[in-house]
Amino acid sequence: HLVLCALQFYPFELRLILYQTPLYVIVLAYGIWCISQYVSQQAVVRSTILVLITALLSFRLFLQFPIDHDEIKPAIRYINQYSKAEESLYVFRGSAYATRYYIKTGLAKFDPLRIKWGTPKHNTSASYLEELNGIRGPAWLLMSHMFPFNGNRDQEYEIVQALQKRGKLMRQAFFRGSAVYEFDLR
C-alpha cells in the first residue's frame, strides 16, 4: 500500500483508516481488559464482562450485516459502455480521487471524453451549477459522495432538476454510492 501511495497509484488519504484501525483495536481491548480486572479478580467474571462488552459493541455491526460498501466501479463501467468520443464528462469532487485512480489503472477508459473535474471548493448546488454552465452538448455527470456525506441525495436531485431546465436528460443509472447521468445540454 505505502509503495503504491508513494508512486501516486493509490489514494493514501482515503485509506488512512486502514492503518489506524489496529491502534484503535489495541487501545479499546486494553481498556476493556483494565475495566474487567478492576471489577473482579475472578477469571469467570472477567471473561463474562469481556464477552458482554464485546457483544454490546458488536451488536450494531451485526444489525447492518451484510455490509454493502459504496463502489464507483459500476458507474465507471456504465460510462465506458455508453459514452461516445468527444462527449463531455463532469466528475464531481467526491468522485475525483477514485476516478483518477481508475483512469491510471485502465478501468476508466475516458481518453476520448472531454473531462472537467469538479473543484474542491464546491459544496453547494449553486457553485456546481455555475461550473457546469460552461458545458454544452452531450455530457455525462459522475456523482458520488455528494455534500453532505451522509447519504442524503437532495443536492444531487437539485442539480439534476436544474440541468433538466437547460437540456434533456437522456439516461440515468444508480449504483450503490454513485450515480451517472447523461444530458444533452443547451
- pLDDT tens column, 52-106: 877 887 777 677 665 556 689 999 999 999 999 989 999 988 888 889 999 999 9
pLDDT in tens, 141-164: 998 876 555 556 778 888 899 999
Res 181: pLDDT: 96
**178 falls within a domain:** yes
Nearest to 141 by CA among 186, 103, 96, 85: 96
Number of independent structural domains in the chain: 2
Same domain flag for 88 and 136: yes
Same domain flag for 53 and 79: no
**104 falls within a domain:** yes
Same domain flag for 87 and 47: no
Residue 65: DSSP 8-state: P
Same domain flag for 57 and 79: no
Burial of 103: CB neighbours in 10 Å, binned 0-12, 13-18, 19+? middle
Q: How far apart are the first and last CA of the chain?
A: 44
CATH value at residue 157? 3.40.190
Domain termination site, one of 12, 36, 63: 63
Asked whether 49 and 36 are in contact (CB, 8 A), the reply is yes
Between 155 and 108, name the one with better pLDDT: 108
Res 128: pLDDT: 84
**Rounded CA separation 164/96 (Å):** 23
Domain extent at residue 95: 73-185
- For the whole prediction, is pTM greater than 0.75? no
**35 falls within a domain:** yes
Same domain flag for 141 and 92: yes
Asked whether 70 and 177 are in contact (CB, 8 A), the reply is yes
**68 falls within a domain:** no
Q: Rounded to 5 degrees, what angle do the CA atoms 115, 117, 122 make?
A: 150
